[in-house]
Amino acid sequence: MSAESLGLNWRMLERFLARDGSTTAGRAASPSQAAAAPAAGSWGALPWHARVFVGAVAALGAVAVVWSIPHLAEQTSGLFTTLAVLSIVTAFAKVTVHASGGTSTFTVCYVMDFTALLLLGVPAATLTTAAGVWTQSTFKCRARVHLYQTWFSVGALAVTVSLTSFVYTRLGGVIGAPQPLANPAALAAAALTYFLTNSLLIAVGVGMSTGRSILRLWWTAYAPMWRDYVIGLAMAAVAAAGIGRSTLCLIPLAFIAVALTHRNLKTFADSVTESATDALTGLPNRRFLTTRVDQELARARRTATPLAVMVVDVDRFKSINDDFGHRAGDTALREIANRLQTSLRAYDICARYAGDEFVIVLPTCGREDAVQKARLLERRVRERQCEIKPGVEVPLSVSIGVAVFPDDSATFEDLFAAADRDMYGRKATTRARCAPAASLTAAAVAAI
């Protein structure tokens, strides 16, 4: 969608490239080459001609914002402020419209930005779009959006708004007219100009940066969005016509915008939670763990405090699956996850890593305390049996290995490897206590 920041459009096209299986690099870089190369997506990673183009458009964006501020008409400052606030608020809101031949999803802030253009002109529209871009780039993207991407998007939209206004007025449209719907030809031409200008600028920027065909990028990833622009412009024209008659029309517009934003924010928050949570156990998943543990290690370095990493492996888990079925195995994993989680501090991290393996991170925890905690957790897991199906109980036990920052290593990968080795050593030394439990499991099987 046009009002999306370049970070979002750039990410969208990068995902398209990933699905397409094409990359700009041929052979994988060696570790030394990877260390010396600029980070992917950074300014230094762009080809020189892409830096020239992206830098020029980003500079235009900065100039457009600076130029627009003093050119706002004082008598329209109240309306501009309202539309700018609505553009920021609705940066998260999207509307899906089911039309013949497909589904259109457009960003609500695009409606606000186009309304600002029709009612107040280029300076106001430039600033409202810049506000929306900043909001999306700062708060909406899960992946990092680089500063040059944000300003490129501002520049692309500034050029788009200026050309759209030029075409609209040349065809008889009047900025600030109470009835913009009176000139549908000018509105249609404005929508086409907005769509082509913005989409082509983004496609050129991404195409130069990735070495892909600009035309193919535009045709595959952007051309199908034309319907979104048409619907968004139609809504903007209706909103502008209503506000042109009476500013009281801003009240229902604001209510609709806030309601849509609330709905989309809730959906976004739910998706973030789901992406970081293991569906079976309810614990944080591996993605959450790798992000959070880096933060905890950075804090431990700053404060010169220890940090313990535990690897937890379920004993005889394959036997539970083989003897009772995978549903019973799932029940056992949920029960173990609950016993581990409820035995930790509120700020400790307990995540499901893979299969029957869990990882626990204990900030400000040295080796002696970590080993004591590991033995306590082992006792908590095996202190009572687990009812895996009505009338059938099996014993549970885990083996836990420990590694501590900075004594064992300074990176999570090495700490995990050290804790994993310690876990297998612990498992080997506790075979004897597993024998009675194994006989109990056999008895449970016989009781079915």
Q: Which residues in 224-240 are b (16+ Cβ under 10 Å) and which e?
A: ebebbbbbbbbbbbbbb
- Give pLDDT tens digits for 164-174: 889 989 998 88
Of residues 323, 337, 437, the one with CA closest to residue 385: 437
Query: Which sequence spans correspond to the domains of the chain?
Result: 6-275, 286-447
Supply the DSSP symbol for 138.
I
- Cα Rg for the chain, rounded, in angstroms? 29
What integer is the mean pLDDT of 259-284? 64
pLDDT of residue 74: 59
Domain 286-447 has CATH 3.40.50.300: no
3-state secondary structure of 311: strand
Candidates 1.10.8, 1.10.1760, 2.60.40, 3.30.2320; correct CATH number of 6-275? 1.10.1760
Name the token pair of 29.
């870089």
pLDDT of residue 122: 87
Residue 66 has pLDDT above 70, yes or no: yes
Of residues 216, 192, 405, the one with CA closest to residue 297: 405
Q: Please tell me whether the peptide bond between 47 and the residue prior to it is cis, using omega within 30 degrees of 0.
A: no
- pLDDT: which is higher, 55 or 96: 55
- Give pLDDT tens digits for 398-444: 999 999 999 999 999 999 999 999 999 988 877 645 544 444 444 44
Q: 406 φ, ψ to 5°? A: -100, 5
- Distance CA(317)–CA(320), nearest Å, equals 5
Residues 6 or more apart whose Cβ sits within 8 Å of residue 90: 107, 108, 109, 111, 112, 132, 257, 260, 261
| Three-class DSSP labels, 240-260 | HHHHHHCHHHHHHHHHHHHHH
- pLDDT: which is higher, 162 or 256: 162
Residue 252 has pLDDT above 60, yes or no: no
Residue 9 has pLDDT above 50, yes or no: no
